[in-house]
Amino acid sequence: MLEIKNLHANIDGKEILKGVNLTIPTGEIHAIMGPNGSGKSTLSNVITGHPAYEVTQGSITYNGKDLLEMEPYERAHAGILMSFQYPVEIPGVTMVNFLRTALNARRAAQGQQPLSASEFLKLIREKQKIVEMASEFSSRHVNVGFSGGEKKRNEIFQMLVLQPTLAVLDETDSGLDVDALRIVAQGINTMRGKDFSAIIITHYQRLLELAKPNYVHVLLGGKIVKSGGPDLALELDKKGYDWIKEEAES
């Protein structure tokens, strides 16, 4: 379970998160929606431990551990994975090496043996099928020359290989065509289960229709101002955020 209490965070001395409260029980998928600039990416960066953000108040615990006391790699070893809104290119590092290193580092941290080359290859092939990626992708350098849609699908592929227990997906659906959107949803649905939780940050109801969340939260001005079931996403899609702003101000 992820528990965020009264979280305040700054970037460059400017307060962006102003008291976020959010609890995600293990096994549940929660969506976070909200206008541009409301703090969604800030929240995901703070959960995964981006060093540019300063937490000034509040707490984040994950399965009882104080996340704010942990380095980003320790959070990854604890099963947390973030899919970036803008995936980075890593020239010189192939997908295979990147994923094998990441996976075996976590296995080592959890006292497991590294996967053998053939076990790893088998795993890669199996997961590539789910995201409908050609096998040549694994020998290419991370995200280099990938199209926007391929980068996003690649984020989902990484999730499937690394099998996090908590995934934070920051606008993984933005800019995708219908087929890529379906593939992203398929990847999320493959992960669904009693040991997996996810935060899906999105502007669109469409992904949530295909990968149904347990709850939808609205982040506005650095706070969660409204929560509801999947129908809330539909309502936001139709009505926008003005009515929520009015509700929040009254």
Ligand X SMILES: Nc1ncnc2c1ncn2[C@@H]1O[C@H](COP(=O)(O)OP(=O)(O)O)[C@@H](O)[C@H]1O
Determine if 41 is a binding residue for Mg ion (CB under 5 A): yes
Determine if 51 is a binding residue for ligand X (CB under 6 A): no
User: Which of 41, 83, 158, 205 lies at the binding interface for ligand X (CB under 6 A)?
Assistant: 41
Determine if 13 is a binding residue for ligand X (CB under 6 A): no
Pick between residue 62 and residue 84 the one whose CB is nearest to ligand X.
Answer: 84
User: Which of 7, 16, 159, 181 lies at the binding interface for ligand X (CB under 6 A)?
Assistant: 16
Determine if 12 is a binding residue for ligand X (CB under 6 A): yes
Residue corresponding to tokens 């290193």: 101
Write down the H helix ranges in 4-147: 40-48, 72-77, 95-109, 117-130
Beta carbons within 8 Å of 240's beta carbon, 6+ residues apart: none
| Binding piece for ligand X, criterion CB under 6 A, among 12-20, 23-31, 135-143, 205-213 | 12-20
Q: Which DSSP symbol is given to 136? A: G
Task: State how far the Cα of 188 lies from the Cα of 174, in Å rounded to an integer.
Answer: 15
Task: Give, as ranges, the residues between 19 and 38 that touch ligand X (CB under 6 A).
Answer: 34, 36-38
Beta carbons within 8 Å of 76's beta carbon, 6+ residues apart: 48, 102, 106
Pick between residue 131 and residue 232 the one whose CB is nearest to ligand X.
Answer: 232
State whether residue 86 is helix, strand or coil: coil
Q: 90, 98 in Cβ contact below 8 A?
A: yes
| Binding piece for Mg ion, criterion CB under 5 A, among 55-63, 77-85, 102-110, 156-164 | 77-85
Total number of residues binding ligand X (CB under 6 A)?
12
